[in-house]
Structure 1
Amino acid sequence: MRLLILGTGHMANAHARNFIEIEGVTLAGAVDIDKVRAEAFRDKYSFERAFTSLEDALAWGDFDAVANVTPDGAHHSTTMKCLAANKHVFCEKPLATNYQDAMEMAETAETSNLVGMVNLTYRNVAQLQTARLLVTSGQVGKIRHVEASYLQSWLVSKVWGDWRTESQWLWRLSKQHGSNGTLGDVGVHILDFVVFATDTEIDEVFCRLKAFDKADGNRIGEYQLDANDSFTMTVSFTNGALGVVHSSRWATGHVNELRLRVYGDKGSFEIQHRHDGSKLFICLGDDIETASWKEMEAEPVPTNYQRFAEAVGQGRTLEPSFRHAAKLQRAIDLATVTEVDRREHRLGSA
């Protein structure tokens, strides 16, 4: 597979490092509107070519697939151009900034017989994959209740740099720069974490959003800091379970932590995924009578990058697919609506 990486920001480095290790993958081209950045990225990872526009790269066309690592607001327009050029696409999350655009991307990829997959990175967590097997094998029983959180602290600390001075973080706080805030940025991750582990879908959502004051006039330079920093959400699932999901960038002491607790009528599990490691704890069988919890080991799993390369090689889309990401975006869109009209919404079919 010959690969073009579109965008050379923070996450593009993760794409390059992972794809370069996969046998049969060639880093064909890199694209960035800044010529200096594009050429520096090309030289750092030994790409064949560097471009300052997607159009120039598509005119060249000597590649099979695109890793789309542009900002959220550019995912739809750039992916549609790649699909029109008959290129497979591995897109960063969220797939799009609204459900309509996400579904258009999904349907176009499907009708064009092209691979369309989304980098929901926490599918790479082995403990998540192992927990799902506990559900699908029936060991947890019927799921009744779910608790999930995604906690970050980059608005409190400088562990990833100073958001007050760096555009790579400031745009995530501004609606006019294409951000849907914490809900749009990491909400898609924690919702995927939940529905994948529990082997179910979201039925209804009810959400509250909050953007806190962060600067004078809530503005830094060209960035109006109006995108939500925190959300709390109640969820009902198609398997009948109820759940609570929340996230914040103000979670002091939590660099980057996902936590999921799932309670069934035969047992429970808890996943803790932090920046420094992951753990899976289970309470099953006789242990439920004594409320005893044990840590369960998990075998490594293929990464999304490996699965995308495999999918292109096989000519068929694997999960997480564009359509799956569109369903998550539907939930996120409706969550935003519930903040306005103060009532629960049902997703319906997608």
Structure 2
Amino acid sequence: MVTSTPTSSPLRAGMLGGGFMARTHSQAARLAGAELSAIAASSESSTERARAALGFARGLRAADLAVAGFDVVHVCTPNQTHAAYARTALAAGSHVICEKPLATSTAEARELVEVAHAAGLTGTVPFVYRYHPMVREARERIRAGEAGAILTVDGSYLQDWLLDAGDVNWRVDAGEGGPSRAFADIGSHLVDLIEFVTGDRISRLAATTRTVHPQRGSAAVSTEDTVAVTVEFAGGGIGTLLVSQVAPGRKNALVIEIAGDRESLRFEQERPEQLWVGRRQGSALVDRDADTLAPDAARLCRVPAGHPQGYQDAFNAFVADSYALMRGNQTRGGTPGGTPGDAPDGVPTFVDGLRAAAVTEAVLAAAESGTWVEVPQS
């Protein structure tokens, strides 16, 4: 099981942002043994509210926090600010956990990878659905060849929180959220999960997008509400992806189904305690039970079988692994793009954030051109 006991002196953590994701990050940081040193939100009053609510020692202005040189800085601000804050924190000698998208362009994401690498610092991105034990179980079954050659992939990520024209959030403003919304926000999770589990990469794609509400409140909207993508994988498989933030009744319905020539595997994020294994004869539901799972899945089981785990548990495990990687870089000179030899497996780094930016740009280019687009592989 994952342990929350720190293995060395606590990392001093700074938090940029005071909203939902900052709350999620701070819970995970505290459990991983970090010292909650300082937080900065969008105003002095919101900073003080967040400081008191989340238990940080002090509040700072964002510009001051980014250059303060904390051991780790968590970036949980609007998308367009991610790259600048991450770059500043790295320059100050801090490791960085940056909310996705890492950057709103591939060029900026690549620069961050290079800056972190040159500084010998770790940068990670919370593609936390990797940290559900049953996701790791699916990955290990594919790695072991149990599914056989991958034939098809069917994936979707559906939400309804922006269903109505009156639903307004900073993410709908391209000036704050970037040129892509639905795909950059949740489609990136879907692609990361599929590529992580299959061990394969999307090589080219065709896409269409739709902005259902071109006007939200008093603001014009240019970013997409829905995306449909057809994909081809380097290994020969084909697939379809559907992403929507306007699907009535769907709260956080992230689903992947991977069909090999021997068996299929289906994971549903809203039902994370089970993995469906499909066979021509004898399909089965596999329950989360550390005694029966692959080692990498079992290590993420925080509580005994029958006691449900969920999103915050996955996030906690991601932050614990990120901190372990950061400590490894401090003691062994590890690099952010790869991992030291004894580092936790499957930590999503800035390299994975760059990959997400590249796929997102390919989706937007394919939708605009109406043609197939090759996805860069590096």
* Gap change, CA 1:60 and 1:231, over 3 Å in 2: closer
Q: CA deviation at 1:59?
A: 5.0
Query: Which residue identity is paired with 1:204?
Result: R
Counterpart contact for 2:66–2:85, Cα < 8 Å:
no
1:11-67 deviation line (CA, Å, top 9, x unaligned): 1000111111113x111110123111111111122212211222x224543x21101
Q: Which residue of 1 aligns with 2:4?
A: none
**Structure 1 residue 219, shift from structure 2 partner:** 4.0
Which residue in the other structure is 1:235 paired with?
Answer: 231
Offset, 1:197: 1.0
2:74 aligned with 1:67: yes
Measure, in 1, the Cα distance between the counterparts of 2:182 and 2:273.
Answer: 22
Q: In structure 2, what is the Cα distance between the partners aligned to 1:60 and 1:256?
A: 36
In structure 2, the partner of 1:173 is: 172
Percentage identity across aligned positions?
25
C-alpha contact 2:67 2:92 (8 A) present in aligned 1: no
Kindly report which structure 2 residues correspond to 1:252-263, keeping only aligned pairs within 5 A, or say none. Answer: 252-263=248-259
Cα deviations across residues 215-250 of structure 1 (Å, max 9, x unaligned)? xxx1423x3222100000011111111111111112
Q: Indicate conservation of the 8 Å contact 1:234/1:244, yes or no.
A: yes
Match of 1:53 among 62, 68, 91: 62
- The answer on 1:280 being equivalent to 2:275 is yes
Residues 151-207 of structure 1: CA distance to partner in whole angstroms, max 9, x if unpaired? Answer: 1011238xxxxx836xxx522222233331101111110001110111111211111
User: Distance between the aligned counterparts of 1:250 and 1:293, measured in 2?
Assistant: 33
1:314 counterpart = 2:309? no
For residues 43-101 of structure 1, give each alpha carbon's deviation from its aligned partner in whole angstroms, at most 9, with x where no partner exists: 122212211222x224543x211011011111111111111111100011111111111
The CA distance in 1 between the partners of 2:273 and 2:251, in whole Å, is: 14
Deviations 1:129-161 (A, max 9, x none): 11000100110011010000001011238xxxx
Q: Name the structure where strand makes up a greater proportion of residues.
A: 1
Q: Is residue 2:280 matched to residue 1:289?
A: yes
Q: Which runs of 5+ in 1 are unaligned?
A: 158-162
The answer to whether the Cα contact below 8 Å between 1:271 and 1:278 also exists between their aligned partners in 2 is no
Q: Which residue of 2 aligns with 1:339?
A: 367
Q: Who is 2:304 aligned against?
A: none
Give TM-score scaled by structure 1 length: 0.89
Counterpart secondary structure, 1:186? helix
Q: Among residues 264, 269, 273, which one is paired with 1:268 in the alignment?
A: 264
Partner of 1:28: 37
1:1-350 aligned within 5 A: 1-23=11-33, 25-54=34-63, 56-58=64-66, 60-61=68-69, 63-156=70-163, 164=166, 169-179=168-178, 180-213=180-213, 218-221=215-218, 223-274=219-270, 277-283=272-278, 288-290=279-281, 292-298=282-288, 299=290, 301=300, 303-315=317-329, 316=334, 317=336, 319-350=347-378
1:238-263 residue CA offsets vs partner (Å, 9 max, x unmatched): 11111111111121121111111111
Give 2:47's aligned amino acid: A
RMSD: 1.8
Q: Is the 8 A contact 2:149 2:260 kept in 1?
A: yes
Q: Is the 8 Å Cα contact of residues 67 and 88 (structure 2) preserved in structure 1?
A: no
1:160 corresponding residue in structure 2? none
- Distance, in Å, in 2 between the alignment partners of 1:219 and 1:154 is 13
User: Partner of 2:169: helix, strand, or coil?
Assistant: helix
DSSP 3-state at the match of 1:13: helix
* CA distance in structure 2 between the partners assigned to 1:16 and 1:289 by the alignment: 45
Note if contact 1:205-1:331 (Cα within 8 Å) is conserved in structure 2: no
Q: Look up the SS of the partner of 1:119 in the other structure.
A: coil
SS in 2 for 1:289: coil
Pairwise CA distance, 1:278: 4.3
